[in-house]
Amino acid sequence: MPSSPVVIGVDSSTQSTKAVVIDADSGRLLAAGRSPHTVTGEGGARETDPEEWWRALREAVASALHASGAPASAVTAIAVAGQQHGLVTLDAAGRPLRPALLWNDTRSAPQAAALTRALGGADAWAARTGSAPVASMTATKWRWLRENEPRTADATDAVRLPHDFLTERLAGTAATDPGDASGTCWYSAATGGYDPELLGLLDLDPALLPTVAASGAERIGSLTRSAAEALGLPEGVAVAAGTGDNMAAAVGLGLGGAGLLDHPVVSLGTSGTVFAATRTRPASPALAGFATTDGGHLPLACTLNCTLAVDKVAALLGLDREDAEPGGEAVLLPYLDGERTPDLPHASGLLTGLRHTTTPRQLLGAAYEGAVFTVLHALDQLPLGESTLGDGAAYGGPQGSGAHERPLRLIGGGARGRFWVDTVRRLSGRAVLIPESEELVALGAAALAAGAASGRDPVAVATAWGTGRGRELPAVPRDEAAWRRIEAVLADVTARAGRAGD
């Protein structure tokens, strides 16, 4: 049984809640717990009852605490990191008025287009909020609710993000942080506050919104009596403001704050994500101009088609996902759900370059290459001070110096797949660092909790714990032929989509 204090980090994701119990002094993972959620909806709708998140949080924390062997009295702080962008509407008693609209609910696409036009285009939004309205952003979901369920909107006494909802249940305090707030499209990372003009455009009363804490590690209160009883913890446990899942992952990797800047991260999951904590505030509609949890810059780009799309190709070919080899002359763009980056919402999968000699294993390898190329192409849009994968010395490898030479931190389910890792190395020509820790979001939340309890910078805490450490694989020669081949096909697809007005 640990003699030192422990902290609890919670990752409330789309499908489940994970909780970790961490020795606050050493960073040792004592135990983890997990509880699933239910996502419902058809025809673009994706919803979950927020009460499920609260139930899952209680179950995951109880499971982790029991498995850890730590006494409840040893817990000093708790923090929640949650899925971004979801819209939670509450009544005056703090009860949900309807199921939450999740980040991947696409019904608000018409409202996103209308909002974009209302402010003069995507560039104008990016300059104001860091991001252009798309269906994932919370502002578009509120506009959808206003237009489609006006009675619910009129009855709303509080508007929250998923992590805000859970934090308020813990502490009884309505608070959020700069990181998660930056994904709403009504908060400006440039000014560090809500944008009054945009709130007016959205017909959203600022009194409905939570206070923005200085950082996700700010102590915004202690467990209420009811929350303490529900979790089996003392009332005095500190509650941090918490943050969004991507921001917490950055903390877990030691990025931002007192940690590393301009170190790119590639996340390979159902979707592909690239981000970095940077010195530069982006203002490009091609990027989500998010903030770190302390208000720094965390530009992010997201592709829709990654591991799930490649697994679908493997299933169609009757192959195991690892039974692949480089694609040869074949190019396969696995845009099975359209694509967000590049902006090809009506695209479908494209296969070209077949020969008599093309094998099924090469076709699967071509799907890997198409997905990885798309993610790495998005990476090149991050404002890291130097081109990461562009022409000349910035290709990576031994040439030049700077941001483009730093290892790619590879996370997500794909980081555990041999051929995914091999393909990233071959198409990037860069070293790859694979962190040992798998629950980086929950670990980042635990570091925020430790910051709330001690006053320390959470990134410094995570760095001291070593949560971002891992094995580094050296750079291999970049497959220029494969890169150029896929690049040419994508350029042709993009040009044809532009001519068609897509």
Residues designated catalytic: 245
Alpha helices in 264-350 (DSSP H): 307-317
Q: Which region holds residue 85: left if phi is over 0, alpha if psi is between -120 and 50, else beta? A: left
CA atoms lying within 13 Å on the CB side of residue 307: 20
CA distances to 134, 280, 388, 389, 475 from 395, in Å: 31, 21, 7, 5, 11
CA distance 379 to 406: 13
Q: What is the DSSP string of 331-400?
A: EEE--BTBBTTTTBTT---EEE---TT--HHHHHHHHHHHHHHHHHHHHTTS-SSS-SS-SGGGGSTTSS
CA distances to 34, 78, 174, 342, 442 from 242, in Å: 19, 9, 12, 31, 11
Annotated binding site for substrate: 84-85
- What is the three-class DSSP state of 175? strand
CA distance 447 to 78: 9
